[in-house]
Structure 1
Amino acid sequence: MAPLRFGYGTNGLTDLRLDDALGLLADLGYAGVGLTLDHMHLDPLAPDLAARTRRVARGLERLGLTATIETGARYVLDPRRKHGPSLLDPDPDARAARVRLLIRAVQVAADLGAHAVHCFSGVTPEGTPEDTAWQRLAEALGPVLDAASGAAVPLAIEPEPGHLLSTLADFHRLRHDLGDPQLLGLTLDIGHCQCLEPQSPADCVRAAAPWLRHVQIEDMRRGVHEHLPFGDGEIDFPPVLEALASTGYQGLTVVELPRHSHAGPQLASRSIEFLRKAATEAAHAPPRIASSRTAPAAPTPVRGGTP
């Protein structure tokens, strides 16, 4: 099995300067970082982005870290609307602002040598027919995928509870709607699998393997969208890590605790210790016996908001 490469998301280290956050992760033995483009770290809208990105690239190289670019900053585009505007916004100019941000993220990823750019669909606006929302999403992603192709950086869309694209089945709908573009991949959040997918998280990993470009990981409970430190939820992690390793996944597996920055350094330390122990258990587990069992259907609606 391929060794897994663990990272930690900067959205869980927002009380630290970026240089301090990267130094912490390197000291703890992480292989990389999920770098959220936001005002407190690498602001995608401030002047001199290319020069600032080159500086970050030098820091990553010096520390031996790799990166994934994440675009889930809450208020980077609109100081009054969380995650707004989205790719589904009724206003075409607002949708275009999100598209420009994602294209900029692709360029940052290329300059950093990042292995993927994460994104999400957004929540369907009130009063918007479902077919209209899917059409907006496909049209908005067109120029982003063009930029991704030109930069040779995969775009990894995340199924997010409460969003238009919320499940693996929704990812496949989008993939087929777009004609199965080579650069469209998947961000799989292990907690989200526990929260609402019909399959177990380990089975979700195996089902998603051909399209897997980025992985986020944290604990979670069934039917409750709340990112939890390891051990505070319901997930059995050794089977999940065994499934990831057995697929040959080589990207980062990034700890995603966006509401825990107040304890970021401590949780980063605890998380890498937890994941190493779980990976060791996975490596020494007996061979898996295939099972057709799936988890029970998720409660509806899912409780908890978007991080």
Structure 2
Amino acid sequence: MTPPRTASALRYAYGTNGLADLRLEDALGLLADLGYAGVGLTLDHMHLDPLAPRLPARTAEVGRALARHGLTATVETGARYVLDARRKHHPTLLDPDAEARTARTDLLLKAVRVAADLGAHAVHCFSGPLPTGTAPDTGWTRLADGIGTVLDAAGAAGVPVAVEPEPGHLLADLTGFHRLRTALGSPELLGVTLDIGHCQCLEPRPPADCVREAAPWLRHVQIEDMRRGDHTHLPFGDGEIDFPPVLAALREADYDGLVTVELPRDSHAGPSRAADSLAFLTAAEAEAAPPARQGTLPQEEIPC
């Protein structure tokens, strides 16, 4: 039997890219036992390999495992070498080679189908860096074309697509997200994956303000600690972020998706990081909660 979840207004998840040394079934069992509400499922060779045979059947097995453990999911597509064994995160939707762009698009289309089959609340994706020698306008056109194709499939499946602003990428910040959204005609299913650490790293506003700005388009949230100007995902407490205001802003926005811990470099300590992260976040959320209102006595019981 799955234990009761930790009392919280927000729904916390942990990314499987930070549990790469665990079998997926073991990772899901761990997260359920710790009290997580969900999992950020990265499609990769060690868990749900999007390029291996029998993807629909294997997806169904994962769906049954999620149900057994009482977990929900978001589908992540940030596996480092799933498409190219020698180049990290390649190819991208910006690649000069049309066939390479198609390979990334096909991965995202598979992710949409997996998300639909799992009942996941969003599919995450990113732009990639602008290739050397490529004009920015050309990069934005390629990105819009690729995301547009994915949105067509997402619309048929009813799955939101959440683009993540990523430091060093063409779409690096919230301004970039709005540029893409506007270019595509502000489609309802296109939202943003807001990574709280990335806000600390490069956005001009504090992370809590970024949450408020992005609130209408929030489809997924990733969270970890980080320092200004340093794109290193850190365990909570090792960076500079003040988390209670961030969590308060998410609650004020009535965000009901997953808040997924993103520690991809910490798989060597995955189980302990997952435990410590949930304890930190629930304590920070309790600190962020407004004080309970004092009860009002009925009129006839008000003392003289």
TM over 0.5: yes
TM-score, with length taken from structure 1: 0.92
Amino acid at match of 1:101: L
Q: Secondary structure at the match of 2:194?
A: strand
Displacement of 1:118 after TM fit? 0.1
Find the partner of 1:84 among 80, 85, 90.
90
Q: 2 CA distance for matches of 1:181 and 1:101? A: 21
Between 1:226-235 and 1:275-284, the stretch displaced more is 275-284
1:26 and 2:32 aligned: yes
Amino acid at match of 1:271: S
1:217 and 2:220 aligned: no
Amino acid at match of 1:225: H
Find the partner of 2:75 among 69, 92, 96.
69
1:51 and 2:49 aligned: no
Q: 1 CA distance for matches of 2:291 and 2:204? A: 24
| RMSD after superposition | 1.2
Partner residue, 1:160: 166
Find the partner of 1:100 among 102, 106, 109.
106
Q: 2 CA distance for matches of 1:263 and 1:212? A: 30
Displacement of 1:284 after TM fit? 3.5
Q: Secondary structure at the match of 2:192?
A: strand
Q: 2 CA distance for matches of 1:257 and 1:152? A: 29
1:253 and 2:284 aligned: no
1:226 and 2:232 aligned: yes
Q: 1 CA distance for matches of 2:253 and 2:45? A: 36
Count of residues paired in the alignment = 286
Displacement of 1:285 after TM fit? 6.2
1:152-301 equivalences in 2 (<5 Å): 152-284=158-290
Which deviations, in whole Å up to 9, do the C-alpha atoms of 1:91-114 show, x marking residues without a partner?
000000000000000000000000
Unaligned runs of 5+ in 2: 1-7, 293-304
Which deviations, in whole Å up to 9, do the C-alpha atoms of 1:242-264 show, x marking residues without a partner?
00011000000000000000000
Q: Secondary structure at the match of 2:233?
A: strand
Displacement of 1:169 after TM fit? 0.4
Structure 1 segments, 4+ long, off by >4 Å, are none
Displacement of 1:141 after TM fit? 1.3
Q: 2 CA distance for matches of 1:114 and 1:277? A: 27
Find the partner of 1:17 among 18, 23, 27.
23
Partner residue, 1:296: none
Partner residue, 2:3: none
TM-score, with length taken from structure 2: 0.93
Q: Secondary structure at the match of 2:73?
A: strand
Q: 1 CA distance for matches of 2:166 and 2:252? A: 25
Which deviations, in whole Å up to 9, do the C-alpha atoms of 1:77-130 show, x marking residues without a partner?
010110000000000000000000000000000000000000000000001000
Displacement of 1:207 after TM fit? 0.3
Amino acid at match of 1:219: D
Partner residue, 2:297: none
Displacement of 1:143 after TM fit? 1.2
Q: Secondary structure at the match of 1:214?
A: strand
Q: 2 CA distance for matches of 1:155 and 1:142? A: 10
Larger Rg: 2
